[in-house]
Amino acid sequence: MKKYLLISCVVLFSTSLFSQTIYKELPSRSLNTTRDIKIKLPDNYDPESPIKHPVIIVFDGDYLFEPVLGQVHFQTYFKEMPESIVVGIVQGEERFYDGYFDELTGMPFESGKRFYDFVQNELLPYVDDNYNTSPFRVAIGHNMMANFINSYLFTDEPVFQAYINISPDYKGTMSSNLATRLGHLKNDVFYYVATSDKDVPSIRNNIRETSSVLKTLDTQKLTFYYDELKGDSHYTLVTGALSKALDKIFEIYKPLDEKEINEKVLTYDGTLDDYIVNRYERIEEYFGIIKPITEEEFSEIATIAEERDDLESLQNIGKLANKQDPNSLLGTYYLALHAEKIGKNKRATKYYESALLLGETTIIDKDYIKSKIESIQQLAIDDNENEDEDEEN
């Protein structure tokens, strides 16, 4: 019975998700025909909102669009990645012609070049013109089309910033050309490639050789990821690769986790407000998204500041929290805590009293702040009594 209910929920979820997909016929001068595309907007998409969304272009949208869509929805739900616009290109019987390549270089040739131009000069501008898009674009391809998406790297200003290559069938000199190109990037690029121990042997071996070279590239502009999955075939590795790829590409977007705290925050040489500000500036730089620092993250870095007796960081965190949300008591609370720790109890009391007039948070409630005020007042009474006893003696 439980298994039946689980399957029913999955079916209902999938039906609801995919029923929201927009199907369009996009006219193309490059192809001299129309091309079917699928578009899935974020669930709460608002065309009037200033919020921008990364764009994920799915080649082989006939069969790859739905797995990508499911994974994006899953990771977005748990705030592991930003809400994104997913676009699938239906290729069908045109796939061979879309991916047609020069046998020497592996680059798009003839009908492949026309499809290349369609994506770059017609599809992407159409999406940008009609939806709220950020500058961050992801290309996803499998097998032959994974080889194809790499061709977009060979320009001064690549139109994609992230490349998910699922079992790419590198053609011609594409592998060696990739190593040269990725070693001389002007802009930041995320490059992910996956194979498996059960993949097509010739494809797997080529991927292994190519990845071993790419791993050695010494450039700060390239973020390279390689996965070799276990037990999956050339086709079943798609799901696992998508999960890992999106998880890694959007890693910085996630809230602070224990690994980052231990490896980066605790060892950070500077005030912790600088660390968290720099982190979110990188999110804006990479993805074109302005994301607020969460209350939980403020709490975590403030706790670390307290533990290492870093009172400057504690004060700066309070100022930062107030700047982000002046109606929340969180920032004022940290300023009060800082004043209390440096022995300025009158100032601390004023801050705590001011915090009581502001909006409550999930981290600090007003009853706790009242207890802090009472504690300071009791401390003042005890100090006065001790002074009186000293005078009597």
pLDDT tens readout for residues 248-281: 999 999 989 898 999 999 999 999 999 999 999 9
Q: What is the pLDDT of residue 383?
A: 58
Looking at the fold, whether 245 and 279 belong to one and the same domain comes out as no
What's the Cα-to-Cα distance from 164 to each of 220, 222, 240, 297, 343, rounded to whole Å? 19, 14, 12, 30, 55
pLDDT over threshold 50, residue 45: yes
Looking at the fold, whether 340 and 193 belong to one and the same domain comes out as no
Nearest alpha-carbon partner for 115 in 136, 99, 132: 99
Q: What is the pLDDT of residue 290?
A: 87
Position 119 confidence tier, pLDDT thresholds 50, 70, 90 = very high
Does residue 3 belong to any structural domain of this protein? Answer: no
10 Cβ contact list (under 8 Å, min separation 6) = none
CATH of the domain at 274: 1.25.40.10
Q: What is the pLDDT of residue 16?
A: 53
Looking at the fold, whether 344 and 215 belong to one and the same domain comes out as no
Query: Quick check: helix, strand or coil at residue 218?
Result: coil
Position 286 confidence tier, pLDDT thresholds 50, 70, 90 = confident
Least confident of 138-147, 213-222, 293-302, 371-380: 371-380
387 Cβ contact list (under 8 Å, min separation 6) = none
Nearest alpha-carbon partner for 182 in 193, 194, 172: 193
d(CA 370, CA 121): 61
Q: What is the pLDDT of residue 2?
A: 40
Does residue 114 belong to any structural domain of this protein? Answer: yes
220-245 average pLDDT score: 96
**pTM for this model (two decimals):** 0.85
Looking at the fold, whether 244 and 120 belong to one and the same domain comes out as yes
CA neighbours closer than 13 Å in the CB half-sphere of residue 170: 23
Looking at the fold, whether 239 and 95 belong to one and the same domain comes out as yes
pLDDT over threshold 70, residue 208: yes
68-87 average pLDDT score: 95
Q: What percent of the chain has pLDDT over 70?
A: 92
Does residue 1 belong to any structural domain of this protein? Answer: no
Q: What percent of the chain has pLDDT over 90?
A: 83
Average pLDDT of the chain?
Answer: 91
Looking at the fold, whether 121 and 244 belong to one and the same domain comes out as yes
Looking at the fold, whether 213 and 333 belong to one and the same domain comes out as no
Nearest alpha-carbon partner for 122 in 194, 35, 212, 52: 35
Query: Quick check: helix, strand or coil at residue 33?
Result: strand
220-233 average pLDDT score: 96
Looking at the fold, whether 331 and 239 belong to one and the same domain comes out as no
Does residue 343 belong to any structural domain of this protein? Answer: yes
What's the Cα-to-Cα distance from 206 to each of 174, 201, 209, rounded to whole Å? 11, 9, 5
Does residue 328 belong to any structural domain of this protein? Answer: yes
Q: What is the pLDDT of residue 67?
A: 96
**Domain end call among 253, 279, 312:** 253
Does residue 43 belong to any structural domain of this protein? Answer: yes
Looking at the fold, whether 295 and 164 belong to one and the same domain comes out as no
Does residue 2 belong to any structural domain of this protein? Answer: no
136-163 average pLDDT score: 97
Does residue 26 belong to any structural domain of this protein? Answer: yes
CATH of the domain at 21: 3.40.50.1820
Looking at the fold, whether 183 and 218 belong to one and the same domain comes out as yes
Q: What is the pLDDT of residue 285?
A: 87
Q: Show the domain range for 306.
A: 258-392
Q: What is the pLDDT of residue 381?
A: 76
Looking at the fold, whether 194 and 322 belong to one and the same domain comes out as no
Kindly state the helix (H) or strand (E) to which residue 133 belongs, with its residue range: strand 133-142
**Domain end call among 223, 253, 283:** 253
1-16 average pLDDT score: 45
Q: Report the domain count for the chain.
A: 2
Position 387 confidence tier, pLDDT thresholds 50, 70, 90 = low
DSSP state of 101: B
**Domain end call among 195, 224, 253:** 253
Looking at the fold, whether 184 and 300 belong to one and the same domain comes out as no
